[in-house]
Structure 1
Amino acid sequence: MSSAAEPRPTTAETTAIVRGPGGAPRRRIGASPLEVFPLALSAKAFGWTATTAATDRILHRYVEHGGNFVDTADSYASGRSEIMIGTWMRNAGNRDELVLATKIGKSAEHPGLGAAAVQGAVEASLRRLGTDRIDLLYLHIDDESVEFDETLLAVDKLIRAGKVRCFGGSDHTGDRLFEARIASAQLGVAQMVALQNEYSLVRRKQYERDLARVAASQGLGVMPRFAIAHGFLSGKFRTRAAVRQSPRSRELAPHLTRGGLKVLGVLDELAVELDASVATVALAWLLTKPHVVAPVVSASEPEQVVDLAAAAELRLRRHHVTALDRVSAWA
């Protein structure tokens, strides 16, 4: 008989038990052959706020709930994030079951997107990850000091060699994405299939005013990063004192405004109605948007993964989406 002190499972945990892992259908990234769980697990915390032991548990919990899309970068924890993922994959023996994304351009060892840097960065990432290919390679910066032709030719060479399967942009304006598409067509090389830029209920304008039309016209799969605004949309940071105690205080502080708190208020109401967490509802809103494939979210503890993964199966009704659209229209 359970004791009174034993915590009850959340709705998300109960759903996972009933349906089993992998209940959410995969989504295809643009015109690529890559099919992914509708939530990408960011590895930004690995080697920073998440220890090796915590990282292993987070990755295991994510896969246990159907996840197959892991997102890292060669600059995260100076490459340690990639090493930790590679070690976990080797021990789990599950590389072929995963879609692995990494980013290049910001590392101290191979900065920028010149041909030599692209080649060197990818080779270094492959060694750290302990794999022979990167499924999705992102250009982590828009390196305007290098002609797009040089970068695109270098990436295409890696794709032809089988070391990279597909690639995308991660910090480009709409105009620059159009420029890249034209250059790719003229050169006859691989074109971008994915876009990763900031997009959330408290950061909408950059994507919706500029990048959404590009994603639509080029058929790009969109992976919103900072999808819960560094944790603000989890609802855990509603006071200045709470923000100051977080290692992400600098990123959280700009969201602690009257508008941000109003967004949290509507999320609170919907979370109660839908019997879900605030973060789950915020992510589910993103998944209703055209061309969004998988929001990118990090976890520093395995317990956080359950609510994040639950967004893949939470279905918002039209009035839920409308309420969130209205309260966040300023963002």
Structure 2
Amino acid sequence: MKKIIIGNTDLEVAPINLGGNVFGWTLDEKKSFEILDAFTDKGFNFIDTADIYSHWVDGGSGGQSETILGKWMKERGNRDNIIMATKVGGASGTHPVDTSKKHILETVDKSLQRLQTDYIDLYYTHFDDEKTPVEETLEAYDEIIKAGKVRYIAASNVSPERLIESMEVAEKNGLPKYQALQPHYNLVERTDYETKYAPLAEKYGLTVFPYWALASGFLTGKYRSEEDFSKSVRGESVKKYLDEKGIAVLNALDKVSEKHNTTPATVSLAWLLAKPNLGAPIASATSTKQLQTLFDAPELALDQSDIDLLDTASK
């Protein structure tokens, strides 16, 4: 399988990034281990989590996903084969978004403890509090990189302005630079990324790992009517997509997936993989059947007519 090198790093990842938000939420430890084993058995090595997963959904403090991943890596003895990404700065329970140096230095140690590891491969600014000076945040990252706790840093929910400022401050002061970008981007959420962030990814050589790559399951095609929203815990969050544009996207996905004898989810991920600077879409799975749709995406080569059809439907 062809691997991708992240930004200007020595991190090589397979082209699907497994989302860890379901571990400890919709999947218990045993089921999580089964999904992780199946994922890595196929040669994939890139896992995404965050310090606040997975009880952010009900106001808890999080950490369950990291804990499960730590136990799994310890039991399997495979830490050196995994590229582990986690995040700092997200709000959890009563704790607000925080990218201060104090918070980062405290939080990284808790993540390392839960992950049962000495280092994090890729450490994201999950959300930017937009008040901590970017110098302070980058100085904190510099400290933990020099201490060997983190290898490289990346940005998720950071405004274009603060992202530009971070890159300029890093360049000027010899501080660590973000190497990857994790935006909200998929067939039904294109405008924000393509107009504001894609030019920055190109300019700064950032490798892009889109989250909600399947629009919370909408792009799998399983939500096609109001009655379908009760099919999963995520059902309510996809209501907004069931409009004229969303139905047009599903129809286009049906055509392309039928042509290639595959699924709408696989086509959706393959469409992302065809985009410039795209490294690996982030998608979670709660069954081996769902995993197969992820495995199939890097193998699917969409032709220009497929891409044009999907681009037009999703504009």
- Using the size of structure 2 for normalisation, the TM-score is 0.95
Deviation at 1:173, TM superposition (A): 2.1
Deviation at 1:275, TM superposition (A): 1.2
Q: Residue by residue, what CA displacement relative to the aligned partner does 1:74-131 show, whole Å, maximum 9, x if unpaired?
A: 0002101000001111111111001000011125479511111001111000000000
Question: What stretches of structure 2 of length at least 5 have no aligned partner?
Answer: 55-61
Deviation at 1:186, TM superposition (A): 2.1
Residue 313 (str. 1) matches residue 290 (str. 2): no
Partners of 2:264 and 2:302 lie apart in 1 by 13
Partners of 1:107 and 1:161 lie apart in 2 by 26
Aligned match of 1:238: 224
**Match of 1:140, SS?**
strand
Q: Residue by residue, what CA displacement relative to the aligned partner does 1:182-234 show, whole Å, maximum 9, x if unpaired?
A: 11122211101000010000000000000000000000000000000000000
Q: How many residue pairs are counted as aligned between the two chains? A: 306
Query: Partner amino acid for 2:263?
Result: S
Equivalent position to 2:267, from 281, 292, 298: 281
Residue 166 (str. 1) matches residue 166 (str. 2): no
Aligned match of 1:7: none
Deviation at 1:144, TM superposition (A): 1.2
* Greater RCO (CA < 8 Å, at least 6 residues apart): 1
Partners of 2:43 and 2:298 lie apart in 1 by 10
Aligned match of 1:207: 193
Question: What stretches of structure 1 of length at least 5 have no aligned partner?
Answer: 1-23
Greater mean deviation of Cα atoms: 271-280 or 199-208: 271-280
Aligned match of 1:93: 77
Q: Do the aligned partners of 1:65 and 1:306 also contact (CA within 8 Å) in 2? A: no
Q: Residue by residue, what CA displacement relative to the aligned partner does 1:53-81 show, whole Å, maximum 9, x if unpaired?
A: 11011101111222100000000021010
Residue 32 (str. 1) matches residue 9 (str. 2): yes
Deviation at 1:302, TM superposition (A): 2.8
Partners of 1:225 and 1:38 lie apart in 2 by 14
- The share of aligned pairs that are identical, in percent, is 39
Partners of 1:237 and 1:248 lie apart in 2 by 10
Structure 1: 4+ residue segments shifted above 4 A? 107-111
Aligned match of 2:252: 266
Partners of 1:122 and 1:215 lie apart in 2 by 26
Aligned match of 2:68: 84
- Using the size of structure 1 for normalisation, the TM-score is 0.90
Query: Partner amino acid for 1:325?
Result: D
Q: Do the aligned partners of 1:110 and 1:120 also contact (CA within 8 Å) in 2? A: no
Query: Partner amino acid for 2:16?
Result: L
Partners of 1:65 and 1:202 lie apart in 2 by 29
Partners of 1:251 and 1:168 lie apart in 2 by 27
